[in-house]
Amino acid sequence: MIKLPERPSHLREDYHLLSISDYSPEALHTLLSAAALLKRQPSQVAQLACGKTLAMIFEKPSLRTRVTFEVAMVHMGGHAIYLQPSDIGLGKREPVKDVARNLSRWCQAIMARTFSHQSILELAEYATIPVINGLSDREHPCQALADFLTFSEHKASLAGRKLAYVGDGNNVANSLMLLAAKLGVHFSIACPAGFAPMAEIIEEARAVGADTGAVIEVTADPVAAVTRADAVYTDVWTSMGQEEEAAERKRLFPPYQLNAALLKHAKRDAIVMHCLPAHRGEEITEDVLEGPQSAVLDQAENRLHAQKAVLAIAFGWTPPTR
């Protein structure tokens, strides 16, 4: 595996966003505070990206990722170029390193939504401009940042809160677990045997949690995970690229459906979270997704503000300190 130089803990103009692991708790707090500020005062970075272009590499389709990154660039006076799979054929038609080096000559940042996390790492190794992980098979850091911005809006303070996740221990779960650990938020995930988050991420999160006070729990019992939670999160049972496993996953995952009965075990004022798109009637029921505790549209909106903060810092904006 390609090893990148260790990234400094403070935010810099020339940084990458590859993994939550690369950021210190202080830097993550700064990013979230910056996102909250830009949501209230978007004029802070108006025209910051004037004359700048974001190259957006997509190996997977997207609604929220594409639209929010494009809108963020427009709000900052810049431009985004959508590069679909047939435009590049990342690593097939053209080596990843050549894509990274060519885009670095024309653009000021790269956002990539890929199947393989290795492609994200290789883009970052060879690019001379910031690279942002818009989703890989390992992590979805942009989603996690938007989710914790949403969590903080609904629950004034995050430290000591509990975020429960039920379902597949996928890339979203990996990033949520790491970010929870860094912010001192207890994280409990329930999933069938064999579908837990990556072992190395669980180990890392628990090591970080030992310093921040976050308790990281992995269980097969959805009720145990959800009990006394401040937020309950779920995601699709079958992610893109796992279509051959869909039938087996539909057989194993029904006990992990987020429904009204399961939600009753959380705190009465717990919020419901889902990164969307949702398969109603599978991982979540219609009444819960559309119910009064649902924060899913807040999450979707906050993708814009979190990513705007990431881009603004990449383009040289210095956010106020907390």
Catalytic machinery residues:
113, 140, 143, 235, 275, 303
Q: How far apart are CA 62 and CA 40, in angstroms?
A: 26
| DSSP run (H or E) holding 41 | none
The structure tokens listed for 169 are 């221990």
Contact 11, 40 (CB under 8 A): no
Q: Cβ atoms within 10 A of the Cβ of 61, count?
A: 11
| C-alpha to C-alpha distances, 72 to 54, 110, 279, nearest whole angstrom | 10, 14, 27
Q: Say how far apart CA 179 and CA 20 lie, in whole Å.
A: 6
Q: What are residue 222's phi and psi, to 5 degrees?
A: -65, -35
* 23, 182 Cβ separation under 8 angstroms: yes
Angle between helices 141-154 and 171-183 (to 10 degrees): 50
